[in-house]
Amino acid sequence: MDLGIRGRQALLSGASRGLGKACALALAQEGVDVTIVARTRETLEKTAAEIAAATGVKVTTVVGDITTTEGRSAAVAACPAPDILLNNADGPKPGDFRDWSRDDWIAALDAMMLAPIEMMRLTVDGMLSRGFGRIINIVSRSVKIPQHELGLSNGARSGLVGFAGGLARQTVGRNVTINNLLPGIFDSDAQREHIRGMLEATGKSFDEIWRERAAANPARRYGRPAELGAYCAFLCSEHAGFITGQNLLVDGGSYPGTY
Ligand SMILES: NC(=O)c1ccc[n+]([C@@H]2O[C@H](COP(=O)([O-])OP(=O)(O)OC[C@H]3O[C@@H](n4cnc5c(N)ncnc54)[C@H](OP(=O)(O)O)[C@@H]3O)[C@@H](O)[C@H]2O)c1
């Protein structure tokens, strides 16, 4: 299928590794020029070179923290008129809500709710005036299946999907869609970090928890980032203009409900 987005411009944060990188590569494979943002120059430049070599598209890098005003300004300066926006960054640390201060909550809201909303504010009007836009937020299954150790994510990300659902209905009439991808367990650095955070509380080894989590998934495995990347590219395609305001699980069937 030709996704019909060759020559479009995409701005992707959190795109030097893992799920964000997979989305950038999948879009680049469709001929989309990509601007990728992350905090660590070395991995970012390596990823940019990899994507450019594999696809031949123009790849621009921005070293910056997307949760800060400076990071967002640099991202938008490098890609002022994106057709596609992917919002992605780190997830939260696991823990007990009794230990979280107001500052912890504000930081979580900044990272998982307010930064993506601000990126939408900075880019959506241009998309509306050009008559094409695709916005994807990488969120988490935690908005549908609360994870007891990830209260900061359960809370802050629910704020983002609530907001996005309302905005999505206001923009789709001008061919600007907004959807949220809800990953389950994926084979990525963040997944490894999450498991490392569980070692003390469970008393189990890393390998034990890694295997148990895969075995507990109906697919009996972790998701591959490229699988989420391909879904993202389709949602950003010209064919996906009638899909908006959706919270789309990519989780190997781990969400237990019918609806
Ligand atoms: N993997 C899973 O199983 C899973 C499941 C559910 C939800 N999620 C969520 O999905 C998101 C992506 O996960 P992942 O597994 O792809 O993570 P990952 O492999 O750790 O990659 C995260 C990417 O985001 C960049 N990044 C992080 N914070 C940033 C910031 N403040 N500003 C700019 N770039 C930033 C990282 O580069 P730098 O560190 O160099 O900035 C890296 O490129 C996370 O929010 C995670 O919580 C993941």
Task: Write the pLDDT tens digit of every residue in 34-62.
Answer: 999 999 999 999 999 999 999 999 999 99
Q: In what order do the strands lie in the sheet with 133-138?
A: 59-63, 33-38, 9-13, 84-87, 133-138, 176-183, 247-250
Dist CA 56 CA 29 (whole Å):
9
- Show the tokens assigned to 118: 């601000």
Residue-level pLDDT at 93: 84
- Shortest-distance Cα residue to atom 17 of ligand 1: 190
Residue-level pLDDT at 200: 87
Strand 176-183 relative to strand 84-87, pairing: unpaired
Low-confidence ranges of the chain (pLDDT < 50): none
What is the whole-number distance in angstroms between the Cα of residue 112 and the centre of ligand 1?
11
Non-local CB neighbours of 197 within 8 Å, separated by 6+ positions: 93, 94, 149
What is the whole-number distance in angstroms between the Cα of residue 34 and the centre of ligand 1?
17
What does pTM read for this prediction? 0.98
What is the whole-number distance in angstroms between the Cα of residue 90 and the centre of ligand 1?
4
Residue 227's CB: how many other CB atoms inside 10 A?
A: 16
Cβ < 6 Å from ligand 1: which residues?
13-20, 37-40, 43, 65-67, 71, 88-91, 138, 140, 183, 185-186, 188-191
Residue-level pLDDT at 37: 98
Residue-level pLDDT at 149: 86
The H or E element that residue 191 is part of is helix 189-196
